[in-house]
Chain A
Amino acid sequence: MTQYGAYMGKVMMIDLRTHAVSEYPWTDEDRHRTIGGKVMAGDILLRHIRPGMTAYDEDNWIVITTGPLTGTGAPSTSRFNISTISPLTGLITSSNSGGDFGLMLKRCGYDGCIITGKSETPVHIEISEDEVLFHDASELWGLEVTPTQEALPKGHGANLVIGPAGENKVLYAAVMSGERAHGRGGVGAVFGDKKIKAITAKGFKHPTIVDEEGFRKLTRKWSKTLRNHALTGRQVPQLGTAGLVTPMQARNILATKNFNRGQFDGFDKVSGETLAETRLLRNSGCTTCVIQCTRRCEVDGKDVKGPELEILGLMGPNLLNDDLDAIIRWNYLIDEMGMDTISTAGTIAFAMELNEKGMWDSGLEFGKIDNIDQMIHDIAHREGKGDILAEGSKRMADMFGGEEFAINVKGMELSAYEPRATFGQGLGYAVSNRGGCHLNAGYLVFAEGLGLDVNGLRPLGKGQLAIMFQNLMEAISAAGSCLFTSYAVFPSFVFDRPNHPITKVVNWIMPYLAPVLFVLNYIYPLLQMQLFLIPHSSAIHKASGMKCTLGDFLVAGDRGWNTERAANIILGQKPGADTLPKRLTTEPQEPGTGLKVPLKPMLRAFYANRGWINGVPTRLKLKTLGIKVPKGTEKLFPGGIF
């Protein structure tokens, strides 16, 4: 139970071996330390994991968590998180979506749900306010995502399901909540390993709001800010994330031909503008969202979720493909199979280059798209050569060579941003806890041209900026908020007026703030204030009654980052894992910037400011943040300051 509002006060634990359901001990002190979401999940996993534990161990936990703002009606707060040990990286993965399951889990009276053990046979777990039921799902096994959802009992509430890819343990299989994907890191494969075909939840409880009037006043103002903002009010609703294809092309950031370069002649055929002008039925969004970034398109007469930037870039320019209809179709097909679009696309690009270099006859060629539909199907079902692609680019490089152009970090394929034109993003990719993820990276590309215009071709200040962005995004995610709300952290003016002298000063000065940020990144606890540009912390305080200043909020973000890193160290992350594929650090981008990512100096600055030694948090750092590692693992963390 909890004394706080906003939270439901219970975390459920389900044992698939015995079908026992119990309550996991989660205290108000834990709530204050972690807020919720992925930080909470990381904390739960850190208490549980042991060296040598792997994704398919019976005792690998799946931790599903919501945030305090989930279900409160605050704008863009239907996000929820799934964390577990990733079969793709062997490390902690956290994957987040805006599907309705999180909202419904809270309405059942739970802030989170932990699943342990394995089922002998396919299972559908039904969660309600009063009980948890286990249904045989043998008849659902083998179905794709939509047929699975349609076969669930009518009025089942919200669902989490896997498709064939999860059943066949494709290392980058997704879990789908409605149309929304928990794509990254292979959480779907862990579901498949535990024989969980579906989880449904239906309830009618609502979290209490402690300061109802103050909270409504704040959220009304927050919604208005988001609606009037240049990015969240205009750019993203009108063009979706697809609107980034063109600015990425302009800045040599658009990954092309397996990250050989950053520009593609046919970019406009797959741009957000062309999508909006020729294929867009309408835009839509997650429940409670005021931004509405989702594209709706038609596939075979069906109104389906359209492509986002990542698949447009990675199945477009990165495969030398300019067929927009094919990408829209593949997007739907990959979702139906229940796979991560980013890793699917990145692995296909790697297979194309292996083939081009004569290292493995994958049957896939850059610019040739007539066999991609079949390959997507084959990957999901692990048939033919698809069985090999189902292992991801890292393991394929182990089999066939080509490690230098296997575009992954820690085993996870990179998003569509070519970092040789956005150094800060390159640093972020390298240090990201879950692997080659643009968001866990800190999304510095947003500052380096896709929003602000900080010089992306200089390493200065990027280590400190990355930490600031990472901690902020980690905390926003923990709150249950969409990361797109972070765009409104910056005043609309700097986007509306990109060439105004004030904006130019902001862009110019940010890297030089490194010493200030260095100090700031260490003194969050002193920030005992609220800042309207970051309304999340104030909203949490008003909704829950829990003390949550800007400082508390950022500390929770910092704690989340360090918790996941500590867990990764225990799971066996080696020194040197924070790196990029050699193509990006040793080959200049030609044609393009003519530059490679200067990783080492940025990494030094990053580690120093994080309080890490060679990528490992010191015991002092962990102690400062109140992070306790399991007994016997303390020796994995160096002493001293840093």
Chain B
Amino acid sequence: MAKVNVKVFGVYRVDSGVKEYVAEATTVNDVFTSLNYLSKVPDSNIHFNNASIFVNNKRCSSGKMRLKDGDEVWVMSPAGGG
């Protein structure tokens, strides 16, 4: 397991009340388990398919992507409206 820094943005952050935390995760998919646990939304179900994910400033296209210590994972809700 790697220790990664998770930052949450968009509606997911405002709804869940989770802004930033350190997670233990092997893959990107693992991040969502802890995020849903920390969320103040009952039955929170944020997962890879319904979020835009960036790892170390790059768009992540697979939930199976392996993480390493010190990685920064951004979890963002769908965006739009300018």
Partner of A250, one of B19, B50, B57, B61: B57
Distance in angstroms from A255 CB to nearest chain B CB is 13
How would residues 8 to 19 of chain B score, 1 for a CB under 8 Å from any chain A CB and 0 otherwise?
011101110001
* Interface positions of A from 405 to 443, Cβ below 8 Å from B: 415, 417, 438, 443
For the complex, give the distance between the alpha carbons of A512 and B23 in Å. 39
Q: How far is the CB of A237 from chain B (nearest CB, A)?
A: 9
Docked Cα-Cα span, A246 to B14, in Å, equals 13
B residues 28-71 touching A (CB-CB < 8 Å): 48-54, 57, 59, 61, 63
Chain B interface residue count, CB cutoff 8 Å, equals: 26
Contact A487/B81 with A247-B52, A247-B76, A499-B61 known, Cβ cut-off 8 Å: yes
A445 within 8 A of B: yes
Given A243-B10, A497-B49, is A235 in contact with B77 using a C-beta cutoff of 8 Å?
A: yes
A240 within 8 A of B: yes
Are A499 and B82 neighbours in the complex by a CB distance under 8 Å?
A: no
A495 with B80, Cβ < 8 A, contacts A234-B11, A239-B14, A504-B61 known:
yes
**A276 CB within 8 Å of chain B:** yes
A272 vs B50: C-alpha distance when bound (angstroms): 20
Given the complex of chains A and B, what is the CA–CA distance between A446 and B14 in angstroms? Answer: 22
Contact B49 A500 (CB under 8 A): yes
Does the CB pair B11–A239 fall under 8 Å?
Answer: yes
How does the 8 Å CB contact mask read for A310-326 relative to B, with 1 for contact and 0 for none? 10000000000000000
Minimum CB distance partner of A452 in chain B: B80
Chain B residues in 8 Å Cβ range of A244: 79-82
Q: List which A188-241 residues lie within 8 A (CB) of chain B.
A: 230-232, 234-236, 238-241
* Whole-angstrom distance between the Cβ of B3 and the nearest chain A Cβ: 21
Residues from chain B with Cβ under 8 Å of A487 in the complex: 80-81
A446 contact set on B, CB distance < 8 A: 80, 82
Choose among A246, A415, A497 the residue that contacts B9 (Cβ–Cβ < 8 A): A246
Closest residue of A by beta carbon distance from B81 = A236
Chain A residues with Cβ below 8 Å from B63 are 499
Contacts of B15 in A (CB 8 A): 238
Partner among A271, A438, A496 whose Cβ is within 8 Å of the Cβ of B82: A438
- A451 close to B (CB within 8 Å): yes
Please measure, in the bound complex, the distance between the C-alpha atom of A239 and the C-alpha atom of B59, giving whole angstroms.
22
| Known A498-B50, A499-B49; contact A273-B78, beta-carbon cutoff 8 A | no
A271 to B11, CA, bound (A): 12
Task: Tell me if A26 is interfacial: C-beta within 8 Å of chain B.
Answer: no
A499 contacts B53, CB within 8 Å?
yes
Provide the residues of chain A in CB contact with B76, threshold 8 Å.
246-247, 250
CB-CB under 8 A for A293 and B52, given A235-B11, A276-B14: no
**Residues of B with C-beta under 8 A to A451:** 78-80
CB <8 Å contact, B81 and A273:
no
- Chain A residues with CB below 8 A from B51, complex form: 498-499
Complexed CA–CA distance, A495 and B77 (Å):
9
Knowing A243-B10, A250-B74 are in contact, say whether A236-B53 is a contact too (CB < 8 A): no
Interface residues of A in 268-283 (CB under 8 A from B): 271-273, 276-277
| Partner of B80 from A236, A251, A276, A415 at Cβ < 8 Å | A236
CA distance A58 to B54 in the complex (A): 55
Q: How far is the CB of A322 from chain B (nearest CB, A)?
A: 16
Residue A309 at the chain B interface, CB threshold 8 Å? yes
Query: Smallest distance from the beta carbon of B76 to chain A beta carbons, Å?
Result: 6
CB-based contact B13/A273 at 8 Å: yes
Shortest distance from the beta carbon of B51 to any chain A beta carbon, whole Å:
7
Interface string of A443-454 (1 = CB under 8 A from B): 101100111010
Which residues from A are CB-within-8-Å of B13?
273
- What is the 8 Å Cβ interface bit string for chain A, positions 10-35, against chain B (1 contact, 0 not)? 00000000000000000000000000
Question: 0/1 per residue, A582-594, Cβ < 8 Å to B?
Answer: 0000000000000
Most chain B beta carbons < 10 A, residue from A246, A310, A497: A246
Please name all residues of chain A whose beta carbon is closer than 8 Å to the beta carbon of B14 when the two chains form the complex.
Answer: 238-239, 273, 276-277
- Set of chain B residues within 8 Å of A240, measured between Cβ atoms: 81
A360 at the interface (CB under 8 A from B): no
Residues of A near any B CB (own CB < 8 A) = 230-232, 234-236, 238-241, 243-244, 246-247, 250-251, 271-273, 276-277, 293, 309-310, 415, 417, 438, 443, 445-446, 449-451, 453, 484, 487, 495-500, 504
* 8 pairs of A and B residues whose beta carbons are closest in the complex: A231-B80, A495-B78, A451-B80, A247-B79, A236-B81, A246-B9, A499-B49, A230-B78
Show 9 A/B contacts (Cβ-Cβ < 8 Å), sorted by A. Answer: A239-B14, A243-B11, A244-B80, A247-B9, A247-B79, A250-B54, A450-B79, A495-B80, A498-B52
